[in-house]
Amino acid sequence: MNSNHSSYRAELEAWRQEIEVPLRRDWLSLVGRYELQPGQHRLGSDPTATISLPAGSAPDEVGLLTFQDGRVWLRATDGVGLLVNGEPLVGERPLQSDAETPGPDLVTLGSLSFFIIKRGERTIVRIRDAASPLLSSFGGRRWFPVDETYRVPAQVIPYDPPKALAITNILGDTSGQYSPARVRFHLGGQEHQLDATGSLSEGLVVHFRDATSGSLTAGGGRVLSSAAPRDGTVILDFNRATNLPCAFTEFATCPLPLPQNRFSIAVQAGEMLP
């Protein structure tokens, strides 16, 4: 094995270990997702609570969420000791969502935390538990054997103006996004052209589906990021193709791949099904 090949494999392995950190922190810890309807919602481990928390991780009654006129308000049950952004919650206060700057307010209680996210017209409570059984049972990401033939140069063809995309997520909501360019490359004896998101200055992202999707790999496709183009080209390394969070948890909200980003070939490189 030559030194370049060894260096490439070592770099790839280090990157794969690195991306396990945000997966465990942000996604494997998820234990709940509740879409809010206007009105009041009881929060606690009581099975009759509108927003149910894991039994043993929280009291029966934790607090009350009120959703009105697009805003969420939180009031803690007396003696529970909820923290908002690390500070004790006193009385009732509004909670900022991830659609606002600088980001969502984080509510914590022991190993539990929750926050508000906006997905299209939906307002959702997302709940994490640092003591989630999934965290302790997760055996790590699974990968195809490294194959450098899946590391290919691609021509970057900018859109001027950027191409408008309609991207649908697993909930059926569609949102607008823009593609700065498409990438053209050869793989499996065929030429392919896929629409990328991201930016020409910071790097491109391709969300694709191939003939392994739903069997060897995640049904919602995989994503592949590249560096910013240089001299009109990028390297697409499908050994770095990864699953979206929905492959690991039912509580994530992920986009679906665009119809034009679907391969007829099997891309047996990168991440497999968990």
58-105 pLDDT, tens per residue?
Answer: 999 999 999 999 999 999 999 999 999 999 999 999 999 999 999 999
pLDDT in tens, 109-149: 999 999 999 988 899 999 999 999 888 899 999 999 999 99
> Which among 200, 205, 185 is positioned nearest to 265, based on CA atoms?
185
- Residue 5's pLDDT is 76
User: Token pair for residue 26?
Assistant: 């942000």
My answer on whether 126 and 223 are in the same domain is no
User: How many domains does the chain divide into?
Assistant: 2
104 located within any domain: yes
- For residue 189, being part of any structural domain is answered with yes
Domain limit, last residue, from 106, 137, 168: 137
Q: What pLDDT was estimated at residue 20? A: 94
Q: Is residue 164 very low, low, confident or very high in pLDDT (cuts 50, 70, 90)?
A: very high
- Whether residues 44 and 99 share a domain: the answer is yes
- pLDDT, one tens digit per residue, over 189-214 is 999 999 999 999 999 999 999 999 99
User: 55 is in which domain, residue-wise?
Assistant: 29-137
Burial annotation 27-49 (CB, 10 A radius, 16+ → b, else e): bbbbbbbbebeeeebbbbbbeeb
Residues 48 and 157 in one domain: no
Percentage of the chain lying above the pLDDT 70 cut = 99
255, part of any domain: yes
pTM of the model: 0.87
| 150 and 132 inside one domain | no
Q: Is the pLDDT of residue 1 over 90?
A: no
Please check whether residue 151 lies inside any domain of the structure: yes
Is position 206 within any domain? Answer: yes
Are 102 and 174 in the same domain?
A: no
Could you say which of 137, 152, 178 is where a domain stops?
Answer: 137
- Three-state DSSP state, 26: helix
- The answer, yes or no, to whether the previous bond of 102 is cis (omega within 30 of 0) is yes
Domain match, 37 and 146 both: no
* Residue 3, pLDDT score: 59
Same domain, 226 and 238: yes
For tokens 């009654």, the residue is 61
Tell me which of 137, 153, 179 is where a domain ends. Answer: 137
Q: How distant is the alpha carbon of residue 117 from its chain centre?
A: 13
What's the rounded Cα separation, in Å, for the pair 142 and 243?
Answer: 10
Query: Given this model, what pLDDT does residue 2 score?
Result: 58
Q: What is the pLDDT of residue 19?
A: 96
104: CATH: 2.60.200.20
Give the residue among 219, 235, 221 at the shortest CA–CA distance from 12.
235
Indicate if 156 and 173 belong to the same structural domain. Answer: yes
Q: Is the pLDDT of residue 16 over 80?
A: yes
